[in-house]
Each structure stands twice: as structure tokens, then as C-alpha cells.
Amino acid sequence: MKESLSRIGRTGLLLQRVPSLVLLFLVCLLVADAIGRLLGRPITGSYELTQYGFALIVSFSVAYAGLTGSHLVIDIVFVRLPRPLARLVSFLSLALSAALFGLVSFRLFVDGIEAFRLKERSSTLGLPIFLFMLVLALGFALLVTALVTRLMKREEGRL
């Protein structure tokens, strides 16, 4: 783990630690809620906390998976391509993915602003939904950054 973290640096550490802590919190919350339910005393709002807590986990984990190259690919054809063509294909793939998630990030940001304007809140705890949308938008922006970083490293490697 130390090796992989030193490779991906402080951003990677942040992307890994924040969702890890949220996940541990959710495990504790859900266990406490399950026990509470058996005793007839469930924790109010545990459903919403899990829902939006998971949104925080996803925000960071998609970027973390992008940074560590963990997204699932099928390379049975790719590995047989001639080297220059493989480079071009790899460049196009990363560029296309970065553009797509740039769009997703932008859309989530717009939706977040709209939720803020409409003062949208969760039904039980009254959590401000726009915050989670903006964090998710940030997560996808980080994914774009991770993809662009990999793209640049590839190009540097070529030079």
C-alpha cells in the first residue's frame, strides 16, 4: 500500500482516506441501527445518512479508481495492436473518457446549484442535497484530473 500511495501522492491519500473513514462510520451506524431495530429503537435518519454517506464514498472512489487505473477494461484486442496504434488508441480512450466525465461533472455542478437555489433538503434529517451534488461534481472533476494526469504521463513517457 505504501508503494502505491507514494506513487500517487497526496491527492491519492486524500481520495483514499476520506471515503475509508466515511465507510467505517457507515458500518458502525448500520450495525448500531440493526441492533436498535431488533430492540425496537432504530436510529432516526440512518437510511439518509447511509444514502448520502455512500454518495461521499462514490465521489472520492471513482477518482481513486481512475488514479490507480482500477476501472475494468478488456484488452484482448488492444494487446495485439501495433505499438504506435496502441499509443494513439490509448490517447483517444483517455481523452474521450476525460471529456465525458468533464461533462458529467459540469452537469452535477449545475444540478447542485439548482438544488441550492430551490433549497432542496432530505426528508428526515433535512440534509442540504446540493452539498452532496457538489461533492460528487468535485469527485468527477478529480476523475478528469486523474485521467488527464495519466494522459500527460503517457505523453511524457513517449518523449
- List residues binding other proteins (CB under 8 A): 1, 4, 15-16, 19-20, 23-24, 26-31, 33-34, 37-38, 47, 50-55, 57-66, 68, 70-78, 81, 89-90, 92-93, 96-97, 100-101, 103-104, 107-108, 110-111, 132-133, 136, 140
CB of 100 to other proteins, least distance (A): 6
Evaluate whether 60 touches 21 at the Cβ level (below 8 Å): no
Is 79 or 159 the residue whose CB approaches other proteins more closely? Answer: 79
Choose among 13, 113, 16, 106: nearest CA to 59.
16
Opening angle at CA 116, ends 100 and 26, nearest 5: 75
Three-state SS for 72-139 is: CCCCCCHHHCCHHHHHHHHHHHHHHHHHHHHHHHHHHHHHHHHHHHCCCECCCCCCEHHHHHHHHHHH
Is 64 or 145 the residue whose CB approaches other proteins more closely? Answer: 64
Is 132 or 145 the residue whose CB approaches other proteins more closely? Answer: 132
Residue keyed to cell 507514494: 6
Evaluate whether 107 touches 141 at the Cβ level (below 8 Å): no
CB of 159 to other proteins, least distance (A): 22
CB of 105 to other proteins, least distance (A): 9
Is 73 or 159 the residue whose CB approaches other proteins more closely? Answer: 73
CB of 138 to other proteins, least distance (A): 12
Q: What are the residues whose beta carbons fall under 8 Å from the beta carbon of 16, sequence distance 6 or more?
A: 5, 60, 64
Is 51 or 149 the residue whose CB approaches other proteins more closely? Answer: 51
CB of 61 to other proteins, least distance (A): 4
